[in-house]
Copies of this chain bind each other. A is one copy, B any other.
């Protein structure tokens, strides 16, 4: 199909939407290392995992051989309320940059959670409901995951307990209020509601919390009550499975319009968006059917891929979760206070970590003032005010497009625009006022945090 026929926005028809998720692990020669029991240092069994997660999700977590898994009809129906998401041709950005590159972005922000997180939230809530549970517990940092889960639970009639990192709870009262509008119980973490929360409060009375700490509280709240399970919005392989819907739609749209991506870019915090976006393309690469350059973009203030270690580590501060082999900065690592937005997790998806370790993905880190400058430029040119997280991918997409301008190459760049920044205006205000700063952790800081890795390695 000729270039000219590509519209600004490609929406698939409802019947072109994926009917199965794609499990990239099935095509990986080197599988991600198994989750380990933190007490026994032995691979987690499905029985053990089912104490924390719904049984069906535990099974998905352990399944590294089935390439395609059916999307249940109820989830497909929910997807139809806000999907397919558009694959957008950034005609205006290309023109403004004067680049010969063709730039596309898969925009996941057109739903009230404001991000791609809803794709996995509805799946996890669905399996909880199917198992007859009363509700689910989770943590949220920037708030997108908590909002997504609240929406999914409201839709299905499930209880939803969200432990929200205290500094976010205080700085983002409107995020909290969206969750409450959807009927969720939102607790600032660390809290007095859990033993692990009380312990952390005792040890660090002034703490404003961390993602790792909120995870510990949510896991405790799930495992110590009848009828609850814990759900997580990133990092896990099951989440990447659900998020493959992003990549599958992108691939169908590309194939339909004869678009052949050279470079695929995603921001990476826990890896949910990046993994979901690239999965089906990575499958083609792993099967030798096509080649792509994949770029993971992470904040310079929380550089797990580019400066972390590939090792077993705790997923949470309380050390109650299974151990996972991943690129990590150490479970005690907390990005500096001036870091805005999400992408603040100390570790990384096991799948993404293994692919990166195998040299199948590149990674770069970028500083936040340059990220917000890219975000502002993008907003003014393309009309969408992006989330700080998504803007990491924008920054590198623009960099790559400018390289194409220098070399006069007509590369096709696809990036994931994971969400909108409507609840991140405090950070934008800092940037607009010229008060935003950068911080890059020192080697000593990272080494100190890595020194506390568990002994299993």
Contacts and interface: CB of A to CB of B under 8 A. Distances in A.
A41 B253 CA distance: 59
A88 to B, nearest CB: 8
A415 to B, nearest CB: 17
Copies in the complex: 2
Contact of A112 (B155, B173, B385): B385
Given A8-B14, A13-B7, A112-B384, A425 B174 contact: yes
Interface in A76-91: 77-78, 80-82, 91
Nearest to A6: B14
Nearest to A14: B7
Interface in A154-178: 154-155, 173-174, 177-178
A92 interface: yes
A177 B380 contact: no
A111 B80 contact: no
Interface stretch (A179-187, A233-241, A352-360, A363-371): A179-187
A117 to B, nearest CB: 13
A155 to B, nearest CB: 7
A336 interface: no
Contact of A379 (B80, B110, B112): B112
Q: Is the interface of A mostly helix, strand, loop or mixed?
A: helix
A173 B384 contact: no
A183 B383 contact: no
B7 A80 contact: yes
A425 B173 contact: yes
Interface string A281-300: 00000000000000000000
A177 to B, nearest CB: 4
Contacts of A110: 110
Contact of A183 (B9, B173, B182, B380): B380
Interface in A392-445: 420, 422-423, 425-426, 428-429, 432
A154 B384 CA distance: 12
A177 B9 contact: no
Contact of A383 (B91, B111, B379): B111
A11 B87 CA distance: 14
B112 A420 contact: yes
A111 B385 CA distance: 9
Contact of A180 (B14, B112, B432): B432
Interface in A262-298: none
A93 B71 CA distance: 23
A381 interface: yes
A151 interface: yes
Nearest to A79: B8
A328 interface: no
A23 interface: no
Contacts of A422: 112, 114, 174, 178, 422-423
A381 B154 CA distance: 8
A362 interface: no
A382 interface: yes
A376 interface: yes
Contacts of A77: 91
Contacts of A182: 379-380
From A7, A155, A177, name the one whose CB has the most chain B CB atoms within 10 angstroms.
A177
Interface in A86-127: 91-92, 110-112, 114
B383 A82 contact: yes
B112 A383 contact: yes
Contacts of A420: 112
23 contacts: A7-B14, A9-B80, A11-B11, A81-B92, A81-B383, A82-B383, A111-B383, A111-B384, A112-B383, A112-B385, A112-B420, A155-B380, A155-B383, A173-B429, A174-B174, A174-B426, A177-B429, A178-B385, A178-B425, A180-B429, A182-B379, A182-B380, A422-B423
